[in-house]
Amino acid sequence: MFNLATHRRILVLGGAASGKSVFAEKLILDHCREFGVTADYLATLPRELADGDLELAKKIAAHRCRRDQRWSLTEQAIKIAPLIREETERPLLVDCLTLWLNNLIYQGLDCQNYFTELGNGVKDSTRPLVLVSNELGLGLVPAEAESRRFRQLQGELNQIAAAACDRVILVIAGQPLVVK
């Protein structure tokens, strides 16, 4: 049911602390064991962007502790589509699109152009690929305009990623639910 050989492009959605990253890592590692390859991890929050934020630093450290020599790490805050398009059989985990969106907004970039580039990159990708993103649309409507804009853009981004992927999985309390 959850197999990168059958569904080469998978989007894993979930709320904060839902278990989505752990689930996505397992998908990748299962594929690595089956095909005897190592994995690529694309972190969209480079270390320097987390400097001074103790909570983010702890989260990054926890993610790193789960990874071993089977993973190579690339940190990229903005230009992720070229890495997604790389022609290789090494599976790629992109964690996470929510932080990537934050980076785009922080840099004042045109999100729609980057969303289109991402969607096309995912569609064109020949490598096994797992994208991780937060589902923000299930909660209350934020009171602040900037937060509402972020939530709206996150929903648009998730829809573009979902349309480009073969399978979409929602993780709730560590349990996967197939959406597509």
Q: Which residues are catalytic?
A: 63
Instruction: Examine the pLDDT at 132 and tell me if it is beyond 80.
Output: yes
Mean pLDDT of 4-8: 89
Query: Which residue would you say has higher pLDDT here, 161 or 53?
Result: 161
Considering only the top CATH level, what class is 9-142+158-178?
A: alpha beta
- C-alpha span between 131 and 20 (Å, rounded): 10
pTM: 0.93
Given pLDDT bands bounded at 50, 70 and 90, which one contains residue 140? confident
Give the domain ranges of the chain: 9-142+158-178
- Which tokens sit at 27? 């998908």
- C-alpha span between 129 and 85 (Å, rounded): 10
Nearest Cα neighbor of 85 from 26, 164, 5 is: 164
pLDDT at 1: 67
